[in-house]
Amino acid sequence: MTTIGNAPAQSAPLTESDVPALPGRTMAQRELQDWVNELAKHPELWEHHINHEGGRRHYASVYRDSNIDVWLLCWNTEDDTGWHDHDISSGAVAVTHGAVSEANPRMNGEPVHRVVKAGRSFTFGPDHVHRMVGAFDGSVSIHAYSPPLWRMGQYSIGPSGVIRRMSVSYADELRPMDEQSLVEKSTDRQLI
Ligand SMILES: [Fe+2]
């Protein structure tokens, strides 16, 4: 990679010359993971976004161009994305502080869970459906997506196991969907 530029003023958006070298095209899972691991080694580029003040979720756009989208997410244990996918994007997540918990839904079974600790990373393709929560208060992770997020799928799984997908904007805050209201709608439909 090329030498990463000096950290810009905290209020200035990062430019391509500030971040690890990018290929200028959509990135495959493994190179996306290598890239986000490299970015994680340079806290001067992202640590000013860290904020764990209570009462609301904290996340920040670190960098975005036509091929990659990078976010910093701050986690407390009550923070929960709900079930979602990333539409056509692959993703890579590097955990820099604490740990995050990832779950994958399983038909007719309990979700698969794993905890990813600081210093570790993982990657996934567009086929991936997951839910993330903070494993510890004060956790931080950096997420890179390629191509950049535009639409995402947010899921609810009702008490009967029925799954529904709602297309949402990448700018919407992911959260567990109101499963009870969806169940009521479903019941209404069955009466028609
Ligand atoms: Fe995700």
Q: What is the mean pLDDT of residues 137-161?
A: 93
121-142 pLDDT, tens digit each:
999 999 999 999 999 999 999 9
26-42 pLDDT, tens digit each:
999 999 999 999 999 99
Residue 20 pLDDT > 60 = yes
Residue 18 pLDDT > 90 = yes
* Size of the chain, expressed as the number of residues it contains: 192
Query: What pLDDT is recorded for position 9?
Result: 52
Residue 64: count other Cβ atoms within 10 Å of its Cβ.
Answer: 16
- The rounded Å distance from CA 164 to ligand 1 centre is 17
- The rounded Å distance from CA 129 to ligand 1 centre is 8
Q: What is the mean pLDDT of the chain?
A: 87
Q: Provide the β-strand partners of residue 153.
A: 85, 167
- The rounded Å distance from CA 167 to ligand 1 centre is 14
Alpha-carbon distances, residue 79 vs 57, 150, 157 (angstroms):
7, 22, 18
94-126 pLDDT, tens digit each:
999 999 999 999 888 899 999 999 999 999 999
- The rounded Å distance from CA 17 to ligand 1 centre is 27
CA distance linking residue 180 with residue 157, whole number of Å: 10
- The rounded Å distance from CA 84 to ligand 1 centre is 6
- The rounded Å distance from CA 191 to ligand 1 centre is 35
- The rounded Å distance from CA 117 to ligand 1 centre is 16
Band of pLDDT at residue 174, cut at 50, 70 and 90? confident
- The rounded Å distance from CA 190 to ligand 1 centre is 32
Residue 11 pLDDT > 80 = no
Supply the DSSP symbol for 49: G
CA distance linking residue 139 with residue 116, whole number of Å: 11
- The rounded Å distance from CA 20 to ligand 1 centre is 22
Cα–Cα nearest to 155, from 104, 102, 93, 113: 104
Alpha-carbon distances, residue 57 vs 41, 109, 129, 133, 134 (angstroms):
24, 30, 21, 11, 11
